[in-house]
Every structure is written in structure tokens, then in C-alpha cells.
């Protein structure tokens, strides 16, 4: 088995130079670096990862804690994380915190004890123990998808990467209002999650923009799960004045809502219109095809890796929150004609604080 000394002899450099190239501990001239890399390739040299970590105090590994098994949305994010991690020469350790506050803290500790260089975590609705542990041990961390707001006069203590939620949700509401709906129900997510709060805010903003009164009885929690959405949808349909349109706040709840509508013998969109937050692979195969907000799932994962690597390179950099835009995917479950929605047209909503005209819902863009 070739050694580092063999690589040094083949490249015509010192062992120290080979070490600097492998561990990135000191700049090396481009032609020298290439000579070392060519020698490594020719000899088939495999670096000793454990020895390298002892030299650099880095394991070149990243821990990811997301509920990927139970949520298809996080599965796509995981794919983005994995691709970016491998591209930068890191390995990935994955754990599922099951959206449980106690378990997520334990998962973070286990990953930290395995000396990962940093963590990417999608926090639960009550992440106090998790955040306390990460802060106490100064673990480089990027919070993914769900954000943690600091006090009004301070910045959040962790880097955060998430999608826009408020503006895109308002976009769905104004689209439905533009089609003539005046009672629009919302099946909201798990209370306590930032995504849930922001989508409820977007729902309210959309109603206000369309000149519709807020009726709190039209907002019910589906708890971000299919069974919860089934119950919430049934309750909304049982109101004295049930909604004529329904908005579901994630892909799993969309399935639950559809299950209840089918059990009630209701047709979408003939009996009730439906729009959903979270597009998913088979949304285009439903009949009718689902009008949705599509989140940039893989891009979110890749961006989280990039932000974490920047944190590792510059540990004292101020924490920041990065938000990626979503796209409005126009199909037919909203009640639009096939020729209007069949193309599955999509457009990225603009700044959620910008004003928009509800009539623009026919154009597929925000004003």
C-alpha cells in the first residue's frame, strides 16, 4: 500500500507539502498541488482519515438531523445536502429526530460526540433543549427550514436557511379569491413551528389583500400530518357555512385532506377548490392536477451546506438567515380551466412584503 512518502517522491516534493495539500493547512502553488494530486491518483494512495483528523482537528464530516423518514419534503432536502457534502469532500452522518424535542437534543449530542465538524438541523416546535446544548458547546450549526427568531433587538444566534413562506401562501389565497371564493379554509401545520406561523400570517395577508374578512373558525391545525389533516378537513366541512376552497399547508396534509374529501363524496374542484403548500413528485398525476407552491427543496439542502462551510471557515462571522424563493405552480385543482392550468406554469413570488393585486392571480405572478 503506497504511503505519503511514496506520493512525495513521485511528485518531487516534501512529505510536508503532501500533507498541506491533503489537509489544506497551508496554501500550495497550483502546479505543485496538481503534481501531488496526480501522484495520488497514479499510485492509488488513500489518505488516513483518522490521522488527518488528528492533525487538523477536523473530521471532514457533517451531521444532519431531519425527519427525513417520515416527511418526503425532507427526503428531497437530504438529497441536496448529500450532493453538496460529497462535492466538497465531506462525509455525512444522518439521524432522524422524529420532531421530538427530547430526542432531537439526544441526536445532536450523539452527532457532536462523533466529532462532526458541524450540524444541520431542522428543529422541532419546542427546540429549547437542543438550542441550549448547541450553544453551550459552541457547535457550528445551521438551522434548516424552521427558523428561530431572536428578540426584536438581537439577531438569531445560529445561521438559518429556509424558504419564503408568508408571500407564497398569500399568493395561493389571492389566487383562490380571484376565482370568486369568499370562504377559504386553511389546514395549518404543527403549532409552534415557524413554518406554521408564517403560513398562517400569509393566509391572513392574502385575505386582507383580497378584501376578505378573517374568520378564525376557517383555520384549523392539521399538525403537519395526514391524520390531523383528515380531522381538520372534516371539521371545516361540518361548519354551518363550510369553505368553498381549501388550502393545505404541507404535502402530507394535502393527502389527508384529499382522503376526507373523497370519503365525503366531494369532487375537486367541482365541489371544493384545493391549493396546497408543497409541491411533490406526483402532484401532477392527480386528477385534478394540484395547484401548489413548490419549495426549492434540494437547493435548501445545498445552501445549508454552503452556509455551514462558510461558518467553519470564518467562525466569528455574524449569524445570518438565508431565505430562498418558492414558485407558484398553476394547475387545475384550484378550479382553473385545463388550458389555463395544464401547463403547470410556475413563477417565483417576490418579496412577501411587496403589495400585490388579487386580480393578478390569473397571471401567475405577484405585482
Indicate whether 181 and 281 sit together in one domain. Answer: yes
Indicate whether 199 and 310 sit together in one domain. Answer: no
Indicate whether 344 and 236 sit together in one domain. Answer: yes
Is residue 244 in some structural domain? Answer: yes
Domain end (from 56, 72, 87): 56
pTM: 0.78
Is residue 336 in some structural domain? Answer: yes
Indicate whether 128 and 192 sit together in one domain. Answer: no
CATH, residue 30: 1.10.260.40
Indicate whether 185 and 46 sit together in one domain. Answer: no
Indicate whether 149 and 182 sit together in one domain. Answer: no
- The owner of cell 466569528 is 316
Indicate whether 71 and 157 sit together in one domain. Answer: yes
Domain end (from 56, 76, 97): 56
Indicate whether 191 and 316 sit together in one domain. Answer: no
pLDDT tens per residue across span 257-307: 999 999 999 999 999 999 999 998 777 777 789 999 999 999 999 999 999
Indicate whether 103 and 14 sit together in one domain. Answer: no
Domain of 264 in residue numbering reads as: 166-295+326-362
Is residue 253 in some structural domain? Answer: yes
- The owner of cell 460526540 is 113
Indicate whether 338 and 233 sit together in one domain. Answer: yes
Indicate whether 97 and 130 sit together in one domain. Answer: yes
3-state secondary structure labels for all residues of the chain: CCCHHHHHHHHCCCHHHHHHHHHCCCCCCHHHHHHHHHHHHHHCCCCCHHHHHHHHCCCCEEEEECCCCCCHHHHHHHHHHHHHHHHCCCEEEEECCCCCHHHHHHHHHHHHHCCCCEEEECCCCCCHHHHHHHHHCCCCEEEECCCCCCCCCCCCCCEEEEECCHHHHHHHHHHHHHCCCCCEEEEECCCCCHHHHHHHHHHHHHHHHCCCCCCHHHEEECCCCHHHHHHHHHHHHCCCCCCCEEEECCHHHHHHHHHHHHHCCCCCCCCCEEEEECCCCCHHHCCCCCEEEECCHHHHHHHHHHHHHHHHHCCCCCCCEEEECCEEEECCCCCCCHHHHCCCEEECCCCCCCCCCHHHHHCCCCC
CATH, residue 203: 3.40.50.2300
Domain end (from 56, 75, 96): 56
- Peptide bond just before 181 cis, omega within 30 deg: no
- The owner of cell 505519503 is 4
Per-residue pLDDT of the chain (367 residues; tens, 9 = 90+): 788 889 899 999 998 898 888 777 788 999 999 999 999 888 888 766 545 554 545 678 999 999 866 677 888 899 999 999 999 989 999 999 988 999 999 999 999 999 999 999 999 999 999 999 999 999 999 999 999 875 434 456 899 999 999 999 999 999 999 999 999 999 999 999 999 999 999 999 999 999 999 999 999 999 999 999 999 999 999 999 999 999 999 999 999 999 999 999 999 999 999 999 999 877 777 778 999 999 999 999 999 999 999 999 999 999 999 999 999 999 999 999 876 654 455 554 443 333 333 333 333 322 2
Number of domains in the chain: 3
Is residue 302 in some structural domain? Answer: yes
Is residue 199 in some structural domain? Answer: yes
Is residue 367 in some structural domain? Answer: no
Indicate whether 45 and 70 sit together in one domain. Answer: no
Is residue 66 in some structural domain? Answer: yes
pLDDT tens per residue across span 337-349: 876 654 455 554 4
Is residue 183 in some structural domain? Answer: yes
Amino acid at each position: 500500500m503506497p504511503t505519503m512518502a511514496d506520493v512525495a517522491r513521485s511528485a518531487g516534493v516534501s512529505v510536508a507539502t503532501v500533507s498541506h495539500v491533503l489537509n489544506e493547512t497551508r496554501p500550495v502553488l497550483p502546479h505543485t498541488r496538481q503534481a501531488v494530486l496526480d501522484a495520488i491518483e497514479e499510485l492509488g494512495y488513500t489518505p488516513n482519515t483518522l490521522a488527518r483528523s488528528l492533525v487538523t482537528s477536523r473530521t471532514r464530516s457533517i451531521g444532519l438531523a431531519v425527519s427525513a423518514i417520515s416527511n418526503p419534503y425532507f427526503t428531497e432536502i437530504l438529497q441536496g445536502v448529500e450532493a453538496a457534502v460529497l462535492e466538497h469532500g465531506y462525509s455525512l452522518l444522518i439521524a432522524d429526530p422524529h420532531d421530538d424535542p427530547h430526542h432531537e437534543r439526544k441526536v445532536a449530542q450523539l452527532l457532536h460526540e462523533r466529532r462532526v465538524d458541524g450540524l444541520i438541523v431542522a428543529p422541532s416546535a419546542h427546540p429549547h433543549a437542543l438550542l441550549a446544548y448547541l450553544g453551550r458547546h459552541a457547535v457550528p450549526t445551521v438551522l434548516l427550514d424552521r427558523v428561530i427568531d431572536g428578540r426584536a433587538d438581537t439577531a438569531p444566534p445560529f445561521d438559518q436557511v429556509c424558504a419564503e413562506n408568508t408571500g407564497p401562501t398569500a399568493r395561493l389565497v389571492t389566487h383562490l379569491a380571484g376565482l370568486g371564493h369568499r370562504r377559504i379554509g386553511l389546514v395549518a401545520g404543527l403549532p409552534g413551528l415557524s413554518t406554521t406561523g408564517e403560513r398562517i400570517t400569509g393566509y391572513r395577508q392574502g385575505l386582507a389583500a383580497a378584501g376578505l374578512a378573517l374568520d378564525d373558525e376557517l383555520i384549523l391545525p392539521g399538525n403537519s400530518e395526514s391524520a390531523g389533516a383528515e380531522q381538520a378537513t372534516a371539521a371545516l366541512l361540518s361548519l354551518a357555512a363550510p369553505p368553498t376552497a381549501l388550502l393545505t399547508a404541507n404535502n402530507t396534509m394535502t393527502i389527508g385532506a384529499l382522503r376526507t374529501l373523497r370519503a365525503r363524496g366531494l369532487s375537486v374542484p367541482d365541489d371544493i377548490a384545493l391549493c396546497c403548500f408543497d409541491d411533490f413528485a406526483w402532484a401532477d398525476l392527480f386528477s385534478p392536477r394540484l395547484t401548489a407552491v413548490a419549495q426549492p427543496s434540494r437547493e435548501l439542502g445545498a445552501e445549508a451546506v454552503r452556509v455551514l462551510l462558510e461558518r467553519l471557515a470564518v467562525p466569528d462571522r455574524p449569524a445570518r438567515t438565508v431565505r430562498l424563493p418558492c414558485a407558484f405552480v398553476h394547475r387545475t385543482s384550484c378550479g382553473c380551466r385545463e388550458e389555463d392550468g395544464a401547463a403547470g406554469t410556475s413563477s417565483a413570488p417576490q418579496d412577501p412584503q411587496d403589495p400585490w393585486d388579487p386580480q393578478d392571480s390569473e397571471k401567475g405572478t405577484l405585482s
